[in-house]
């Protein structure tokens, strides 16, 4: 590609609106041609640092502000229970509670049995007197 054909395409290249074939041709030409590369860098600098140009309308600014606020608003990760999940969870919790109560009741109500060795010692001690 020649400088005469690349130069008019630099703006479109900067904004990424060239078709793939033209973009490839510009990309191949720029590293080889210092003049076109300097022109592209100057154009890029002007486009990216310019404070001139059309300003967005107040409506566009408001739409942008609202869109950003919507994106930044924290989304509560609430999970709703299905119709059948709530009773199932409640039943499971209730069953676990009843099982725990039965285990603790059985452990505390056990009859206290005297150790056998104690009764044997008492018998031996009574005979020896």
Whole-number Å distance between alpha carbons of 87 and 91: 6
Residue 103, pLDDT > 60, answer yes
Q: Which two tokens stand for residue 33?
A: 């041609």
Global pTM reads 0.41
Q: What is the pLDDT of residues 8-61, one digit of tens each?
A: 899 899 889 999 999 999 999 999 999 999 999 998 888 888 777 677 788 988
Whole-number Å distance between alpha carbons of 47 and 43: 6
Kindly report the backbone phi and psi dihedral angles of residue 91, in degrees, each rounded to the nearest multiple of 5, phi listed first: -65, -40
Q: What are the residue boundaries of the structural domains of the chain, listed by start? A: 1-49
Cα first-last separation, the chain? 127
- Please, are residues 18 and 12 in contact by the beta-carbon 8 Å criterion? yes
Instruction: Give the residue ranges of DSSP H helices in the chain.
Output: 3-6, 10-15, 20-29, 34-49, 58-72, 85-109, 116-127
- Comparing CA positions, the residue from 106, 104, 123, 127 lying closest to residue 114 is 123
């Amino acid at each position: 590609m020649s400088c005469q054909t690349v130069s008019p395409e630099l703006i479109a290249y900067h904004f990424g609106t060239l078709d793939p074939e033209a973009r490839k041709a510009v990309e191949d030409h720029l590293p080889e041609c210092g003049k076109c590369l300097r022109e592209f860098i100057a154009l890029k600098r002007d486009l990216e640092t310019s404070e001139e140009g059309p300003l967005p309308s107040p409506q566009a600014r408001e739409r942008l502000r609202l869109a950003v606020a919507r994106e930044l608003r924290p989304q509560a990760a609430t999970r709703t229970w299905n119709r059948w999940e709530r009773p199932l969870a409640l039943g499971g919790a209730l069953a676990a509670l009843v099982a725990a109560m039965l285990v603790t009741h059985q452990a505390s109500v056990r009859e206290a049995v005297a150790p056998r060795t104690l009764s044997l010692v008492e018998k031996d001690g009574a005979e020896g007197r």
